[in-house]
Amino acid sequence: MGRYGYIVLFFAVLIGPVVARALHNQGQGRETAASGGEKIVIITPHGQEIRNEFRWAFADWHKQKYGTAVELEFLNPGGSSDVRRQLDTIYRAIRESHGGQLPPEDQIDTGIDMVWGGGDFEFNNRLKPLGVLHPLDLSAATMAEVYPQPALAGVKLYDQERDKSGKLLPPRWLGVCLSSFGIIYNPDIYRSLGLPAPRTWKDLTNPRLFGTLSLADPTHSVTAAIAYMMVVQRAMAEAESAFLRQPQIQGKTYGEVRAMPEYKGAIDLGWKEGMRRLVLIAANARFFNDSSTEPPNDVAGGDAAAGTAIDFYARVTVQTVGTERAIFVAPRAATAITPDTIAILYGCHGKQLELANHFIEFILSPEGQRLWILKVGAPGGPREVALHRSPIRQSAYQDRTGWADDLNYFENAGGFNQRGDWMDTFSELPQIWAAAWIDCRDDLLNATRQIMKVQDTVRRDELLFELSDIPVVRQNVDDEIAEEARITADHSQDPDVWRAKQRLNWAAKFSEHYNRIGQEAAEQLTP
Amino acid sequence: MRFSTRAGHRLLSLALYAFFAVCFFWPIARILARGFETQDGSFTLQYVGLIFSDPQLVRGLVNAIGIAFVVTALCLCIAVPLAVLSVRYEFPGRGVLGGLMLAPLVLPPFVGALGVRLLLSRLGPLTVLLGMGGGAGFDWLGRFRAIGIIVVEALHLYPILLLNLQASLAGVDPSMEQAAANLGASRLKVFRRITLPLIRPGIFAGCTLTLIWSFTELGTPLMFGFNTITPVQIFEQITDVADNPLPFALVVVTLGVAVGMYLVGKVLLGRSYDSAATKASVASTPRKLSGLKAVAAWIPFAVVLGLALLPHVSVILTSFSATAQWYRSVLPRHFTLGHYQAALTDDLAIPSVTNSAIYASLATVIAVAVGLGVGIIATRSKLRDRGFIDALSMLPLAVPGLVLAFGYLAISVSLKQKYQNALPIWLNVQEMPVVFLVVAYAARRLPYVVRSVVAGLQQTPVDLELAAANLGAGRMTVLRRITIPLILANLIAGALLAFAFALLEVSDSIILAQKEAYFPITRAILELAQRLGDGVYVASALGVWAMVLLTITLLAANRLLGRKMGAVFRI
């Protein structure tokens, strides 16, 4: 080919798709230009499907209801931790330029009106303390209509902070749809391994699954962290019911029982049992994924026998590859159900605030809620892709015609609720889990491999028990939380350094533990 | 007014310092400060100290350094014979092979990783092909983690070394080797005593890039689930939901190690030597191989290519595979063109193509201009800080892309706060990230241009420039008529690498391009890859398009430059 031939080819390949697309769009009569006029800027980790469907539906709805077309403009810096980091960067800069304080809302312009997506824990425990969420003004009637019950399975559906006098403050975040976290497994691989299908988290502790699980990283996915917390809470609940069945407890009130030191001891043992189960699951992990879409892909592709999965990812995967290669299980009485969340950002004012409130009105309306779950083509449904997520508005479940999935968390959430009083250790646990499962991963895997070589099955089980019995008790975590609170209050140490050191300390402790048990197993092998 | 040469160099060096200050130090400092700053803002070395007191982090560093050296050694083993064969011998098909050998460079991120992962998956084509597909298959990625990382990285990175070696070998004056041979030296001895020392700048340039790249490589170990390695440890902690200063301190340590690697390389390989003795005025005539010898020459190329192109083949097959139809089989069970149509009608895919082409072209122009400046200072000036300027230009290699990207973001945000609505729209990354993206791409890809230019200048006798100057040519005339034409091949090689990698740049694209209208290709590929259902397939279709465009870029440049390109690729 001549030198000009290559240049022509280069431009043909470069421009070809652009021209082809323009022709295609002309044929289909698709509009490509974004509508001008008013817009709401939303920062979000949500993917293209959700952004597009809500953009189109909201523009139509707004035009119909308020007579003007309003465009949603999205900023998408990555996952929810990236969103938070960006908001932190922006508001930190504003504080720095205003002497350490945020000025009144009408004096700043961040260029971003809302934040959408990330879940209740992220919004409540991470974003709200940054002071970046604007108090929302919703009528009591609307709140009662959308959220007839303020919580589901122990998880709050919207911000319910109270002031010192106990009065409910205006919410700073709202739940807009629901999702749960469960197990996705590949029946084909399970058959090959000769294992029965998993039903509970405990089934994933089977050492025959070594190297076949694809798990979500608890420090990157709050939803995953809550699911792991449910494993711990489940073990605590089992310990509690065993304790309550004891003869000496009969006749006592629950309050009296809870005051007993033996009760605390029993619950703490349950906590430890939960932590132990998690170590066994982690020892079977092949990967710890940052993105929650990965485990379903690993399972469907045959790379993992089972994995952790958010319900709607799992549902789409099952739909795509069929039930021969993927099945989703919501583990009995240990499913974490969490709301996806939205908030208006501090500094949104005037016309922008009015528009942002319109979007909240839409997303909580019956039309907005149905958009989450309807099939493509159903009246009021999505244009291109079904979103497979569950409405949070309870009344939306009354009519399920045209739904892509027939489910109702409000009916199925029973069995076991997340216990608020057992969430005390949660703020520190992801760090400890990461130290035990990810930072010391090589040591954990080596020790497990050594143990699996032990022929004597009784001794092998003993060693596995010892391995999973990592040197941490509930009291350690409680102490750590208290210590952190003290340090933050009295400024005696830099909390960041302290936290970083803690994780390193834990990792060193766990590493030593794994190596010691691995050594014990190796000694069993040498005759 | 005419400046003296020294004043001219000083002026140029000041301009370069200004570029580095604005484009590297400002963003890096904004972020790295977190590694040295306590919560109340006072200075601390505690975090850096913490790193060395932690066995896991130390092990991560040891692993990262170890793997980097092994990868570089393996790249040398691959690249040296290939470079010698392609420059010194003539055999049928040499031209085609030469182009194909650069193929690993055109593998787009995400889909490239997906390709490798699919290939090596438990029930994937390799397992089935080897008859191990029964039962639960074989876990290649899980079983051979360290070896897997080394092989995959070496097969991805050898072209960098190959390009540099080819350029250097082509620049070796054949009369030197002939003289040695005439004096009775064996062919091996000539290679060891004459050729190797003469191509040392090329080895240094290539090895430094490969070493630092593999030391900071994140994607491959992440794909293999190998956590005890510094880049993954940084990534894990920087993207952690909790605020943690440790990763920033770890970045500081990474920077230190990378600079150390650069300096060690410079001491061992990069000593300046008498440049008057090098740069061939005539190229050596390649020896013709035919028959069995030509076939034998093909073997190393075929082996390396066969392995290096597997991910590409995997991406191409994925793009044509019907959704979920590649499972427990060597090839997909059903084929379709549907994913290309889906990519074509996607709202993000095609506009991202145009965006990327614009960003990458602009970035390349900037990188070449700055790279040429650095090269001139480093090799032609007598400034005392010339080595320092050269080293500075290598810094972006050692800074994780995420850090630089967050740095730019922080700058834009603080400018916005300071100037509010008076800030021009192009300095507001949330409104229009073009300028930031172009600068980020240029800064990140500068080292390739610099190494390439410096290698060229070191091999070009300064006498030619002095002669032109003596004959009354102005400095710009010398640059335009003598220096640039003499190093054009190196310049083009650097520019091509810069363009190709800018097109495939990940971190900046993700952090800085947040508005759909400005999405570059990599961002669109990521977005598509995460789409549920057919995402991976549609992303692969877009990935295939990117591979085709990059391949044509390389071929077009090769053709446009004619023989001058030959000095680089020498095929």
User: What ipTM score was computed for the predicted complex, to two decimals?
Assistant: 0.80
Q: d(Cα B370, Cα A445) in Å, to the nearest integer? A: 48
For residue B226, name the pLDDT band (cuts at 50, 70, 90).
confident
Q: Do B552 and A6 touch (CB under 8 A)?
A: yes
Report yes or no: A395 and A366 within 8 Å, Cβ to Cβ.
yes
Instruction: Tell whether B246 is within 8 A of chain A (Cβ).
Output: yes
B417:A97 CB<8 A: yes
Confidence category of residue B228, pLDDT binned at 50, 70, 90: confident
Spell out the residues 6+ positions from residue B402 whose beta carbon is closer than 8 angstroms to its own.
B235, B238, B239, B507, B511
| Nearest CB to B552 within list A13, A192, A430 | A13
CA distance A111 to B312: 41
Give the least confident one: A34-43, A445-454, B141-150, B325-334: A34-43
Q: What is the largest CA-CA distance in chain B?
A: 80
Q: For A211, which of B142, B347, B559 is closest by C-beta distance?
A: B142
How many separate helices (H) and strands (E) can be counted in chain B?
A: 30, 2
Could you identify the residue written with the tokens 């988290």?
A201
Cβ distance A286 to B225 less than 8 Å, yes or no, reads yes
Burial profile A481-514: b = 16 or more Cβ within 10 angstroms, e = fewer: eeebeebeeeeebbbbbbbbbbbbebbbbbbebb
Residue B214: exposure state from Cβ atoms within 10 A (0-12, 13-18, ≥19): buried
Q: Does B184 touch chain A (CB under 8 A)?
A: no
Contact A352, A113 (CB under 8 A): yes
Q: Any CB–CB contact under 8 A between B350 and chain A?
A: yes
B240 chain-A contacts, CB cut-off 8 A: 81, 219-220, 434
B553 → closest Cβ in A10, A219, A497 = A10
| pLDDT for residue B566 is more than 50 | no
For chain B, how big is the Rg over CA atoms in Å? Answer: 24
Report CB contact under 8 Å: B142, A316: no
- Cα separation, A354 vs A197, in Å, equals 51
**Three-state SS string across B376-395, please?**
HHHHHCCCCCHHHHHHHHHH
The shortest CB-CB distance from A286 to any of B139, B517, B531 is to B139
Between strands A327-329 and A174-185, the pairing is: antiparallel
Write the DSSP symbol of residue B25.
Answer: I
Nearest Cα residue in chain B from A187: B136
> What is the 3 state secondary structure string of B386-428?
HHHHHHHHHHHHHCCHHHHHHHHHHHHHHHHHHHHHHCCHHHC
Q: Which site among B532, B547, B549 would you substitute to test the A interface, given the most A Cβ atoms closer than 10 Å to its Cβ?
A: B532
**How far is residue A39's CA from residue A212's CA, in Å, rounded to a whole number?**
47
Contacts of A508 in chain B (CB under 8 A): 54-56
Do B239 and A508 count as a contact with CB atoms less than 8 A apart? no
**In a 3-state reduction of DSSP, which class is residue A488?**
helix
The average pLDDT across B118-130 equals 89
Do residues B163 and B568 lie in contact, with contact meaning Cβ atoms separated by under 8 Å?
Answer: yes
Residues ≥6 apart with Cβ < 8 Å to B148:
B120, B140, B141, B224
Q: How many CB pairs under 8 A join A and B?
A: 234
The strand pairing partners of A337, in sequence order, are A180
∠ CA B453-B454-B459, nearest 5°, is 100
CA distance B177 to chain A (A): 35
Which pair of tokens denotes residue A355? 């528009």
A160 vs chain B: nearest CA distance in angstroms? 23
Cα three-residue angle B371-B415-B522, rounded to 5 degrees: 55
Question: Positive or negative CA dihedral for B95, B96, B98, B99?
Answer: positive
Report the pLDDT value the prediction gives residue A506, as an integer from 0 to 100: 94
Q: Provide CB contacts within 8 A for A289, sequence distance 6+.
A: A214, A215, A216, A217, A295, A298
Q: Answer whether A17 sits within 8 Å of B327, measured CB to CB.
A: no
Q: What is the pLDDT of residue A413?
A: 63
The whole-number pLDDT of residue B525 equals 85
Task: Write out residues in chain A with pLDDT < 70, as ranges.
Answer: 1-4, 25-36, 412-417, 527
Give contacts of B 404-443 with A, CB under 8 A: 406, 409-410, 413-414, 416-418, 420-421, 428, 430-431
Contact yes or no for B225 and A217 at CB 8 A? no
**Of the candidates B79, B94, B18, B47, the residue with the CA atom closest to the CA atom of residue B571:** B94
Give the range among A76-90, B133-147, B414-428, B552-566 with minimum mean pLDDT.
B552-566
CA B67 to chain centre: 17
Torsion angle in degrees (nearest 10) through CA of B161, B167, B169, B175: -170
* pLDDT grade for B277, boundaries at 50, 70 and 90: very low
Distance from CA of A220 to the nearest CA of B (A): 5
Residue located via tokens 């006029």: A37
Query: Residue A241 pairs with which residues in a beta bridge?
Result: none
| Nearest neighbour of B420 by CB, restricted to A75, A109, A217 | A109
Q: pLDDT per residue over B245-269, tens digit each?
A: 777 788 888 888 887 887 887 777 6
Q: Chain A contact for B41, CB < 8 A? A: no
Average pLDDT along chain B: 82
Closest approach of B203 to chain A, Cα-based (Å): 31
Enumerate residues 6+ apart whose C-beta is below 8 A from B262. B208, B212, B391, B394
Residues in chain A: 527
Beta-bridged to residue A215, according to DSSP, are A288
Residue closest to B206 by CA, chosen among B85, B83, B23, B34? B83
Burial (Cβ within 10 Å: 0-12, 13-18, ≥19) of residue A516: middle
Of B444, B285, B296, B429, which Cα lies nearest the Cα of B363?
B444
Q: Do B417 and A94 touch (CB under 8 A)?
A: yes
* CB-based contacts of B430, cutoff 8 Å, min separation 6: A41, A75, A111, A112, B412, B416, B514, B515
Share of chain B above pLDDT 90, in %: 17
Q: Tell me whether residues B344 and A20 touch, CB distance under 8 A.
A: yes
Mean per-residue pLDDT, B29-38? 77
Per DSSP, the three-state class of A185 is: strand
**Mapped to the 3 state alphabet, what secondary structure does A373-425 carry?**
CECCCCCCCCCCCCCCCEECCHHHHHCCCCECCCCCHHHHCCCCCCCHHHCCC
Res. B284 pLDDT band, cuts 50 70 90: low
User: Which of B310, B361, B345 is closest to B541 using CA atoms?
Assistant: B345
Cβ-based contacts of A212 with chain B (< 8 Å): 136, 139
At residue B270, the pLDDT reads: 60
What chain A residue is nearest to B239 in terms of C-alpha separation? A81
Paired tokens of B156: 């991805």
Q: Which of B4, B6, B27, B2 is nearest to B386 (CA)?
A: B6
Distance in Å, alpha carbon of B522 to nearest chain A alpha carbon: 13
Question: Which residues neighbour B546 within 8 Å (Cβ) at sequence distance 6 or greater?
Answer: B106, B108, B503, B504, B521, B525
3-class SS of residue B545: helix
Rounded to an integer, what distance in angstroms lies between the CA atom of residue B503 and that of residue B525? 12
| C-alpha distance from A407 to closest chain B C-alpha (Å) | 20
Asked whether the beta carbons of residue B136 and residue A193 sit closer than 8 angstroms, the reply is yes
Task: Look at B245 and A497 and tell me if their CB atoms are within 8 Å.
Answer: yes
- pLDDT computed for residue A85 by the predictor: 78
- Asked if A307 and A296 count as a contact pair (C-beta separation under 8 A), the reply is yes
